Structure 1
Amino acid sequence: MFLDPLATPGFKRTLFNAIVAPRPIGWISTINAHGQTNLAPFSHFNLVSTAPAVVMFSCNTPADRAEKDTIANVRSTGEFVTNLVTWELREAMNLSSFNAPYGVDEFELAGLEKAPSLKVRPPRVKASPASMECKVLRIIEIEPIVEGDTTSHVVLGRVVGVHLDERLVDAHGHFDTLRAEPLTRLDGDRYAISGRTDMLGRPSPRRD
């Protein structure tokens, strides 16, 4: 089966979310110019590089406003924090995705306690075992191609600070991902954590 997204009648765009899965969730906390905080999850999120440490997240423009509150806030302040979503925090994460009016504090909506950041203004989720303070490097706008498309914004941020739960860090400074149980997004409303794992060393060149 071959599908041309632009030429296939009734093409399901949600297919992409089912194929590119599981996806890590960027639980992004921001603050606006008036000091009001915002918290929202984004499943289009990932690590871009480690040296320098750069992460990215992206979102579509909603139908009811010019851009999402998160994008408006990072434009205004140039800062954000990513908070790791664990299996235990899945319900709170889901509550924070509520399409609330601008200025509503999703921390309060989801019953989450804030913790102060050290190098940026937005607070972090205290219950998250890993949070990264970030400074915005660039915001890239992806324009619509055909009717029905929406404008998307990709935010690149340089990591300037990392907060970790010490119980999940070993003596060598490694973070225990499996014990943290990070939540991932699948298709539709389905979420999951890691299942089967394997150790695969990097292949070495053959020496005949």
Structure 2
Amino acid sequence: MQLDFSQISPLDAYRWLASTVTPRPIAWVSTLSADGVSNLAPFSFFQVISDNPPTLMVNISTRDDGELKDTLRNIRETGELVIQLVPFAQAELMNASAARLPHGISEFERCGIDSESSALVRAPRVSGAPVAFECRLVEVQPYPKANPNCHLVFAQVLLAHIDDAVLTEAGRVDPQRMDLVGRLGGSHYTRTQDTFTLIRPE
């Protein structure tokens, strides 16, 4: 089978890419608007792109009607965000926070998701998340430039909260204790329980 991406619709392109480039980590992004309303939403077009400086990238798509999502609005207004990783125990809450709510309604409050204060940024973080990265906005890039349908958010990590419960006795992260969920195609997800080890050659 061959797919000519110039001959298929954007929706079909999304479906093929999202179902083949898997598993994808999920950025559970919390922000605070300029007037103090918290927001929380998941994004699976997400990755670490640099370790010096430590930088994460989140792709935030534009809504079908062209409206910008509250997450992007808040990041632009405040220059701050927190990126949580999603454990299996919070998968249902993460999914609930993906619902489209009216502007100015907090997913934390509507979905009953507990939060706590961050250390260096004003946006709250999700209680119980095994990892939370407090970040400062570096750059927002509309993409593609000619007719953007999404925005690439480059966020520098300022501080990480890592739950001691996911660390080994040697102080390293144990992927099974993290028990993160990853996005597959459609409504399918996976979790970091079935792992194996390969030693990188010299």
Deviation for aligned residue 1:196: 3.3
Give the 5 Å matches for 1:79-98. Answer: 79-98=80-99
**AA of the residue aligned to 2:161:** H
Q: Secondary structure at the match of 2:58?
A: strand
State whether residues 60 and 150 of structure 1, in contact with CA within 8 Å, keep that contact through their aligned partners in structure 2.
Answer: no
Q: Percent identity?
A: 35
Distance change >3 Å, CA 142–CA 127, structure 1 → 2: same
Distance change >3 Å, CA 26–CA 9, structure 1 → 2: closer
> 1: distance between equivalents of 2:19 and 2:61?
17
**Structure 1 stretch 46-55 or stretch 5-14: which is displaced more?**
5-14
State whether residues 175 and 192 of structure 2, in contact with CA within 8 Å, keep that contact through their aligned partners in structure 1.
Answer: no
State whether residues 112 and 125 of structure 1, in contact with CA within 8 Å, keep that contact through their aligned partners in structure 2.
Answer: yes
Q: Which structure carries more helix by proportion?
A: 2
Matched residue, 1:103: 104
State whether residues 46 and 57 of structure 2, in contact with CA within 8 Å, keep that contact through their aligned partners in structure 1.
Answer: yes
Deviation for aligned residue 1:82: 0.6
Deviation for aligned residue 1:10: 9.3
Q: CA RMSD in A?
A: 1.9
- Structure 2: state its 5+ residue gaps: none
**AA of the residue aligned to 2:60:** C
1:121-165 superposed Cα distances (whole Å, 9 cap, x missing partner): 1000011111000001111110387xxx86110101000011111
Q: Does 1:139 align with 2:137?
A: no
1:42-92 superposed Cα distances (whole Å, 9 cap, x missing partner): 011111122221111112100245211101110011110011111110110
Matched residue, 2:117: 116
Q: Secondary structure at the match of 2:19?
A: helix
**AA of the residue aligned to 1:73:** N
State whether residues 5 and 11 of structure 1, in contact with CA within 8 Å, keep that contact through their aligned partners in structure 2.
Answer: no
Matched residue, 1:129: 130
Q: Secondary structure at the match of 1:12?
A: helix
Matched residue, 2:191: 193
**AA of the residue aligned to 2:12:** K
Deviation for aligned residue 1:4: 1.2
**Structure 1 stretch 72-81 or stretch 11-20: which is displaced more?**
11-20
Q: Secondary structure at the match of 2:104?
A: coil
Distance change >3 Å, CA 19–CA 164, structure 1 → 2: same
> 2: distance between equivalents of 1:128 and 1:57?
18
> 2: distance between equivalents of 1:100 and 1:81?
20
> 2: distance between equivalents of 1:6 and 1:144?
18
Matched residue, 2:24: 23
Q: Which has the larger radius of gyration?
A: 1
- Structure 1: state its 5+ residue gaps: none
TM-score, with length taken from structure 2: 0.93
State whether residues 81 and 124 of structure 1, in contact with CA within 8 Å, keep that contact through their aligned partners in structure 2.
Answer: yes
**Structure 1 stretch 130-139 or stretch 44-53: which is displaced more?**
44-53
1:95-132 superposed Cα distances (whole Å, 9 cap, x missing partner): 10010011111011221111100111100001111100
